[in-house]
Structure 1
Amino acid sequence: MRNPWLLRFPARPDARLRLLCLPGAGSTAAMYRSWSRELPDDVEVCAVQLPGRAGRLRETPFTAMEPLADALAEVLAAELDRPAVLFGHSLGSLIGYEVACRLRDAGADGEVRELMVAAHRAPRLGSAGLAYHRLPTEQLMTVMAGLGGTPADVLARPELVRLAEPAMRADFEVDYTYRHRDRPPLALPVSVFGGTGDTTVSEAELAQWRTHTTGEFTLRMLRGDHFFHEGPSGAELLSLIGARLLESV
């Protein structure tokens, strides 16, 4: 039976490594649909589809990190029959960290080779403090347009906004209410990527991810805004990720 939490772009049963991708606030698994074309053929791109969007539109979205990370850690533990790397963008970075901690604490992280994160401050700094989930619809859509990443044709169509808005609000609430719990650092390598023009997070805040690992740490700043992976730096990002993945298998 198909797992509603994961979309494979495409399924590669013989892949040597899985890249488990977590979307940012308001985004769907589809943001990773094209990645397998740019990554090594023996990598299976598995993108998480959170409840409340796309094929899971009728499900209630999570509004708090703890139950979300608990549920997702259980799902992803079943995908660790081969080496795997976690990648998260924006809110997905926090989710990825929380899942990695849970897998480690459960002794289920033996095949997790690395945590890759992008466009979010380090967990120890807590919430980004952006109460977007409380904004009236028109203001929230203005924020989404300013951040980029949401297709203009979606924002321009009230019927599509009505469908997407609950998940957007839920994701921003997850981020806003996030509180970091002190725990031992991960032993995994942690690779961090940021956009030089991203107004939501500074390079100094990205650098604080270093405190969450005793393993190798790298920080790369690429040209672009919060969604630098969709702009001119997208190819460079995937090249850097691909090189790291080849080192993991």
Structure 2
Amino acid sequence: MADTKSAGAWIRRFHATDEASVRLLCLPHAGGSATYYFPVSRALAPAIEVVAVQYPGRQDRRAEPCVEDIRALADAIVAELPAWSDRPLALFGHSMGATIAYEVARRMEAGGTPPVGVFASGRRAPSVARTESVHLRDDDGVVSALKELSGTEDRLLGDEELLRMILPAVRSDYKAVETYRHDGGPELSGPLCVLVGDSDPVTSIEDARAWQQHTTGSFRLEVLPGGHFYLNAQAAAVQRTIVAQLGDWAALPTAS
């Protein structure tokens, strides 16, 4: 469970620790929730403190209106970060979360408190535009998209009551990410590590490589076996990458 510091807020902490020298803020995929990153938090504690964003419209925030705009989500998350500024902060976002992490990092840099680095997983570069309209499909169409990506357990996809509960948030998230367009503003100056599955049906390796143009800092592309949710089966490899990169980044001077 999240501790009292994060209760009722946008950010959840599952394993509080005083030993960590760096904190990793994780941003979920479309339809995802903070608890998706509970296993990552458990695995990396106490050396790295993992916290996760809880978007409105799901789990304990289910009664709140969903936010259908990437930039509005980024603004709201950045507003929460001063409470978590007692140690260096890195960002990890998967799929939609990668785009939000990018926008959060841009705001952090503009505000003079840059992250030590950004992990962008399972998402094409912001400048690579695609016309998509999953959010305009009927419920069966949205479920079909979820099944294609295999991001939701079969048990959940087969439970009509649970599906009715999550579909509004899923549709809202798809709208947010499908209507997002890169504005061509200042790019990142800090390090960027991009991860992608080698058989991802919606993010090609070249689309992932295109992230390189979005930072003047160091860039690394890691391709792992699997589809869009490669990180489920490749959890250990992803965690090793996180630990290694944070070890490097924490020793690097941050932009001012």
Instruction: Give the TM-score category using the shorter length.
Output: over 0.9
Q: How does 1:139-178 map to 2 (within 5 A)?
A: 139-178=141-180
2:70 maps to a residue whose letter is M
Q: Does 1:113 align with 2:116?
A: yes
State how many pairs are aligned. Answer: 245
Q: How has the CA–CA distance of structure 1 residues 240 and 225 changed in structure 2, closer, same or farther, with 3 Å as cutoff?
A: same
Note the alpha carbon deviations across 1:134-178, whole angstroms, 9 max, x for none.
111112112211211211121111111111011000000001110
User: Once the 2 structures are TM-superposed, how far is the Cα of residue 40 of structure 1 from its aligned partner?
Assistant: 5.4
Name the stretch that deviates more: 96-105 or 76-85: 76-85
Inter-partner Cα distance in structure 2 for 1:80 and 1:130: 37
Of the structure 1 ranges 221-230 and 129-138, higher mean CA displacement relative to structure 2 is found in 129-138
> Where do 1:37-48 residues align within 5 Å?
37-39=42-44, 41-48=46-53
Deviation larger for 150-159 or 19-28:
150-159
Partner of 2:245: 244
Listed one character per residue, the Cα deviations across residues 18-77 of structure 1 (whole Å, up to 9, x for unaligned) are 000000011111111111333252211101110000110000110112221111111124
| Inter-partner Cα distance in structure 2 for 1:146 and 1:181 | 29
Structure 1: where are the runs of 5+ without partners? none
Q: Secondary structure at the match of 1:125?
A: coil
- The residue type equivalent to 2:248 in the other structure is E
Q: Which runs of 5+ in 2 are unaligned?
A: 251-256
CA deviations 1:71-101 (Å, max 9, x no partner) are 1111124322211110000000000000111
State the identity %.
Answer: 37
Instruction: Measure the CA separation in 2 of the matches of 1:52 and 1:92.
Output: 15
What's the RMSD between the two structures over aligned residues?
A: 1.4
What's the CA shift string for 1:186-233, capped at 9, x where partnerless? 1110000000010101111111111111110000100000000001x2
Distance 1:147 1:66 in 2: 24
TM-score scaled by length of structure 1: 0.94
